[in-house]
Structure 1
Amino acid sequence: MKKFFLFVITILICTAGFSQNSDKAKTLLDEVYTKVKGYGNIYVDFKYVLNNTEAAINQETRGDVTLEGDKYLINFMGSQQLYDGKKVYTIVPENEEITIENRIDDENTVTPSKMLTFYKQGHNYEWDILQNVQGKKIQYVKLIPIDTNTEIKSILLGIDIETKHIYKLIETGKNGTTTTFIVNSFKTDQPLSKTLFTFDEGKYENEGYYIIRE
């Protein structure tokens, strides 16, 4: 993913340019990170698009997630997942089934609690295009994984220059699959129920749900 140049002068010029662009990209991402970490909680309503032309896959759906520290509640593809700080609860109403498991700490996995801050490590950065989207200036930063064994080729992160919020994420896989995440609504510091991140096992048992513990 890194470009090599044949002539020494070309190397010096392009490396200097890349360094400046990389520094600009990192500075912008640091501003986004600081902004996001300053909120007590975050609610995001989003659109999710999965596309693979070769495999004739084009899937589009929406979801929403509420984040408070490491805790999260996500509604996506007809299911709900809750993390209360200790365990992950995956609730599938269609099957009346719930899976309870301990949190798996894998630094390579982008969990909902990391979805707005995952870019802080493990990537090289490049300054990319600037787009005008419905009056918003969206600056893109290209993230290239440092780990060459990953299945991800690159990630384009679109950032609203004015709010310093993430607007769009486009992940391109080495297999040609593109995954796009678009923020429809971004709300912060909302009044939340004290039991929002609490799993009520008795409620689901009374409703006849089958509970799997892993």
Structure 2
Amino acid sequence: MRNLKITSLAILAFLSLTTVQAQEAKKLLNEVSAKAKSYDNITIDFKYNLNNTKENVSQDTRGDVTISGEKYVLNMLGTTSMFDGNKIYTIVPEDEEVTISSYNPRNDKQITPSKMLTFYENGYRYKMDITQNVKGRKIQFVKLIPIDSNAEIKDILLGIDVQTKHIYKLIQTDANGTKYTLTVNSFKTDQPLSKTLFDFNESKYENDGYYINRLD
């Protein structure tokens, strides 16, 4: 009877600790989301790594993204992806091709650039994870686990700069073991942007001989 009581107390203590950690994680994520939404625009330069030990694949690259509300311009792997609020444009200079598709948020389950700083607001359970010191900056990691048990994502570790409330690192592990790591090199806010930055000039690419591939 005594052992049962001790076990029950241990379970209650664990559940209480888990609840507190979840509340702390939610509070921190809410602060990060509010901070991101307070900016007119955000420009991020980042390092990206894809790693799959089973397939012996490891790939490093750099990229940059400018975000303003839902709109974005992403440069990565020699490709530019743009979203003007209605359509997504994927520009591949090597193939001289532009792919144009309509955006349907109901069909979008990926972490797009415009959602990178707020994707965790729905669909995840979370808890506090490790804390790291990165060149004098305190980085608090929060672990996110999809509520959907059939999700392709196993879990995500989100590293947050405790002082600035900016995301420093995102580590996504898929169900098949593939790991994607995005590390922020620079995080700039409210920069002067061209008024046409998010506008796609179709005639320019047609004149340059690009093939325009319309998916819908």
Q: TM-score, normalised by structure 1?
A: 0.95
1:36-185 equivalence runs, <5 A: 36-105=36-105, 106-185=107-186
1:201-212 to 2 correspondence within 5 Å? 201-212=202-213
Q: Distance in 2 between matches of 1:107 and 1:124?
A: 20
Report the alpha carbon displacement of residue 7 of structure 1 after superposing the two structures with TM.
3.6
Tell me the TM-score normalized by structure 2.
Answer: 0.94
CA distance in 2, matches of 1:201, 1:96: 13
The CA deviation at 1:172 is: 1.2
Give unpaired runs (5+ residues) of structure 2.
1-5
**CA apart distance, 1:176:** 1.4
| Total equivalences in the alignment | 209
Structure 1 residue ranges, 4+ long, deviating more than 3 angstroms after superposition: none
The letter of the residue matching 2:211 is Y
Amino acid at match of 1:76: M
Offset, 1:175: 1.3
Post-superposition offset of 1:54: 1.2
- Per the TM alignment, residue 174 of structure 1 is displaced from its structure 2 partner at its CA by 1.8
Q: Which moved more, 1:99-108 or 1:66-75?
A: 99-108
Q: What is the alpha-carbon root mean square deviation over aligned residues? A: 1.1
2-structure distance, mates of 1:176, 1:126: 21
Structure 1, gaps ≥5 residues long: 1-5
SS at match of 2:35: helix
1:81 alignment partner, SS class: strand
* Stretch deviating more after TM superposition (104-113 or 203-212): 104-113
Within 5 A, what are the aligned runs for 1:13-32?
Answer: 13-32=13-32
